[in-house]
Amino acid sequence: MIAAVFVVAVPRLLTNGEGIVAGVLGLMAIACLAMAALACETAGMSRIRRQPRVKPVGGLHGNGIRIRTQRTLPVALGTSLVASAVFGGLAWLLWHDDRTGGLLAHGADTEQNATTGLIVCLGAIALGIPLGLSSAATRITLSTNGIRRENRFRIVGIKRHTDVFVPWSSITAISRDHQEISTGWGTRYNLLIRLEHDDPVLEPRWHLDTPTSIALPVSRLTAEPNTLYAAIHRLHTEPESRKALYRADAPKLLEAPPLRQRWRNE
């Protein structure tokens, strides 16, 4: 429906000389599509097939596959904030410029609504600046020698990086876990894979780690969490299966089964 409105309305607005309105409408349509993509990602639809961002790698710890964090959330939030700032700012500017055919609807083109648009613009900018200077990303690497977790944080330009490697021989147990986050709309659960280990030298590097375990956050990764858990469990319990990490098609280890097969297994 959003695409239909965009295709029909924008050419007509451009024909009538309403380039600004057409541009803002297009930006709002892109923001809506980005939020729709985020909803599909949250529902797990983006993990139906193997992700191109799961790639084979090599390095100090042997050959393996690397799983990265999904990018849909920051893109959707950034697009929405930009669209809100542009719409609110132009609505206020066009109203004070006494232009006809502004962005405010007929009957709602009042000074109060124009001021509200300015407040929305300033609020979006105030939120966008710190969010643009902040980021959080996790990379999980499954290699022939073990599991590596890299956490990269940037809070208002201040960078922090943690890097931990757990050999397969040090892992004593693998279990599912979760982190509970209370919000104003309820409780959110971030999925974790917890690796119990007996390495006395390995110290906690993250607030969800313990002296005897390492937590892998998997909710925002490009790999489907259950498939990733099954792959880690298999690589740990069946050392012979790690030979598959040498092949060019190693990312197929994280290819989730078809939805119908998953439902049938349940």
Residue 253 in 3-state DSSP? helix
- The Cα 69–Cα 57 span in angstroms is 16
How many residues are listed for the chain in this entry? Answer: 266
Taking residues 63-83, report their average pLDDT. 82
**183-230 residue pLDDT tens:** 777 777 888 999 999 988 787 788 888 889 999 998 888 888 888 999
Q: In this predicted structure, which of 20-24, 108-112, 180-184, 218-222 has the lowest mean pLDDT? A: 20-24
Whether residue 39 has pLDDT greater than 50: yes
Q: DSSP readout, 63-116?
A: SEEEE-B--HHHHHHHHHHHHHHHHHHHHHHHHHTT-SS-SSPTT---HHHHHH
Across 30-39, 46-55, 130-139, the highest mean pLDDT is recorded for 130-139
In one-letter notation, the amino acid at residue 263 is W
* pLDDT number for residue 110: 77
Q: And the tokens for 221?
A: 């990764």
Q: In this predicted structure, which of 40-54, 109-123, 179-193 has the lowest mean pLDDT? A: 40-54
pLDDT interval class at 14 (50, 70, 90):
very low
Q: In this predicted structure, which of 6-10, 33-37, 63-67, 183-187 has the lowest mean pLDDT? A: 6-10
pLDDT interval class at 261 (50, 70, 90):
low
Taking residues 61-73, report their average pLDDT. 84
Cα of first residue to Cα of last residue in the chain, in angstroms, is 34
Taking residues 53-78, report their average pLDDT. 82
pLDDT interval class at 58 (50, 70, 90):
confident
Q: Produce one character per residue of 131-153: b if its CB has 16 or more CB atoms within 10 Å, e if not.
A: eeeeeeebbbbbbbbbbbbbbee
Taking residues 12-33, report their average pLDDT. 60
**124-166 residue pLDDT tens:** 899 888 888 888 888 999 999 999 999 888 887 788 888 999 9
Strand order in the sheet with 55-57: 55-57, 64-67, 135-143, 146-155, 158-167
Higher pLDDT among residues 4 and 252, named by residue: 252
* Nearest-5° Cα angle at 25, 21 to 31: 145
For the chain, what is the mean pLDDT? 79
